[in-house]
Amino acid sequence: MTYFEAVLLGIVQGLTEFLPVSSSGHLELGKVLLGDTSLPQQSMMFTIILHLATALSTLVVFRKDVWQILSGMIGPVHSPEWQFSFKIIISMVPAAAVGLLFSDELERLFDRQILLVGAMLWLTGLLLFVADRAKDTSRDVSYSNALIIGLAQAIAILPGISRSGATISTSVILGVDRTHAAKFSFLMVVPLILGKIAKDLMDGDLGFDASEISVLGAGFVAAFITGLIACQWMIKLVQRAQLRYFSYYCFTVGTLAAGWALLLQ
């Protein structure tokens, strides 16, 4: 992989991690378009590095909220910060369970499965379209909502389903305030990403050549900077109820991806 390709994919990750169009799906499409021939383990390593970059950009954007949450965790059990932290933990359970139980099966899905990506982009589009029509969005995230949103995040592990799109759409459909939905969606994934990286490092599952460090670094920086911009942009878009425009995009790209995959068969 060249520096140009790494930076390009980093920009794609930075935008699509927060915009509801599936970062994993676009990374798989990008790898195919760029002719990436790396082994699945190396490809997954690059994907994880880019996800780490966007996780850190999330922490920067929500640094005040993160500090309040961490401070609240050592305070009274029933404080708003403690309760929010516990809801984040509840939301993590489904995706963590799926990741631990089906890690090998999931890794195979991140190996240029373009037809799957196209179908899942259509599913993302449908979710966004339905969510954008929701009217009653004034509630806070409840404990039961946190679990349901967590289930949506677990399903969104599939390449082509937007994680932010699935979790924000599910939140809005459940009646959660749009600003709270975006904040909860972006913060709930950070512990999972950091935990996934720690597990893979301890298991030795991530393969890369030392000569690729600078290329990985270039992709990381591109994803981090782009993520800072996209995260703040997405919050404003959710507040303005403009998710349907992304549904049209998902329908279009999903159709093109599926058609391309069928032509190549």
Task: Provide the residue ranges of all domains of the chain, joining segments of one domain with +.
Answer: 3-264
pLDDT on residue 40:
46
pLDDT on residue 36:
61
pLDDT tens, residue by residue, 25-79? 777 777 677 776 554 455 667 778 888 899 899 999 989 888 877 776 666 777 7
CB 231 within 8 A of CB 19: no
pLDDT on residue 28:
72
DSSP H or E run through 62 = none
φ/ψ (deg, to 5) at 174: -75, -5
pLDDT on residue 109:
64
pLDDT on residue 145:
94
Give alpha helix (H) positions in the chain: 3-16, 23-33, 40-61, 63-73, 80-101, 103-109, 114-132, 143-155, 163-173, 178-188, 190-203, 213-239, 244-264
The amino acid present at 145, given as its one-letter code, is N
pLDDT on residue 80:
81
The residues that bridge with 139 in the sheet, in sequence order, are 176
pLDDT on residue 37:
55
Q: Tokens representing 47?
A: 């994907």
Question: Which stretches in the chain have pLDDT values below 50?
Answer: 39-40
DSSP letter at 79 equals S
pLDDT on residue 143:
93
